[in-house]
Amino acid sequence: MIETHDLTKEFIERGKQTSFFSPIRERKHITALDHITLRINRGEIFGLIGPNGAGKTTFCRILSTIIHPDSGHVEICGHDVVAEEDAVKKIVGIATSEYSRALYWRLTGKQNLEFFAGLYGLSKQERDSRICELFEIFGLEDWKDYPVMKYSTGMKQKLSLAKALINNPEVLLLDEPTAGLDIISKNVIKQILRENFSDKTIIWTSHDLREVEEICTRIALIDEGAIIFCGNMAEIVSKYDLRKGVLFRLDSPRSDIFSTIENANIIDGYTFEVTANELSKMLKAVSEIAIENGVEIKEIKSKIPSLEDVFMKVVNS
């Protein structure tokens, strides 16, 4: 569906003047993408995570033909993004957190979608049918004739997604699609996408690691333009040897007595956490110390390694 091979992109940043009397400025080369090779399958929700400036947005802009790579090769549904730019535009939709730039606020929601449908060359019948369908899916039927400036933040983001889907694209590029939204709006958008657009190939970039872990089938971490890891959560956790943890809460502030257990992390007087490969052996050691010291364990919680745990381990290593 989407294949990139040795994808590279550099930008030149203008720095300070070399001297007060010279107009010449320093020029710094920044590698945004460094030989990225990926294959993203049809119908997959592919998560792309990384720090600010890691290359996520640049990757999406190349796939949407907004900018061209310096070198390397990209194909979407068999179409080269550089040589067959027009064909790619017809099968790709993009929505970002900067919806204010993607919509005309003085126009109504319906007028916005009519305008963008016209750019894709949809017939009047196709346009009217698609707009009606999208307003119903996103729950905006009652607002279609209101100016976008009167929409709430969540409604604007929904309209931005509807705009990205107006041409019924095969590929959907979502660059931080839920940034700035409250938890209810985030969940509504995720539910809409899962229930109505499961046939789309979606690339989802976000700083919300829990969200990415929840919705994406595979995840890649990009840092300084390079792919650090790529796979599903089970593969990623296995690769970085992240162990399952157990959280213990005591009836009295004596968690320090458990500090002798290997890989114990004292959180506060009442709480400590232990990670281990052999859970039965670790639980036995905790139980023995508790009985010996007359301490009651009030609560035990299992902690499964998360994407955030992986991210922090990679970033800190």
Average pLDDT over residues 224-238: 90
pLDDT band at 10 (very low <50, low <70, confident <90, very high): very high
9-23, 126-140, 230-244, 279-293: the lowest-pLDDT one: 9-23
Residue 98 confidence (pLDDT) above 90: no
**Rounded to 5°, angle at Cα 238 from 236 and 243:** 115
Domains and CATH numbers, the chain: 2-231 (3.40.50.300), 245-316 (3.30.70)
- For residue 24, what pLDDT is reported? 61
* pLDDT value of residue 285: 94
Name the pLDDT band for 182 (thresholds 50, 70, 90): confident
Q: What is the DSSP string of 38-96?
A: EEE-TT-EEEEE-STTSSHHHHHHHHTTSS--SEEEEEETTEETTTTHHHHHHHEEEEE
| Average pLDDT score over residue span 101-111 | 94
Q: Is the pLDDT of residue 170 over 70?
A: yes
What is the pLDDT, as a whole number, of residue 21? 54
Strands 297-303 and 245-250: antiparallel
Q: Which residue has the higher pLDDT, 169 or 243?
A: 169
Euclidean distance between CA atoms 123 and 246, whole angstroms? 59
What's the whole-number mean pLDDT along residues 178-190? 88
Does residue 123 surpass a pLDDT of 60? yes
pLDDT for residue 185: 87
Helix (H) / strand (E) element for 102: namely helix 99-102
- How confident is the model at residue 16, as a pLDDT? 61
pLDDT at 22: 57
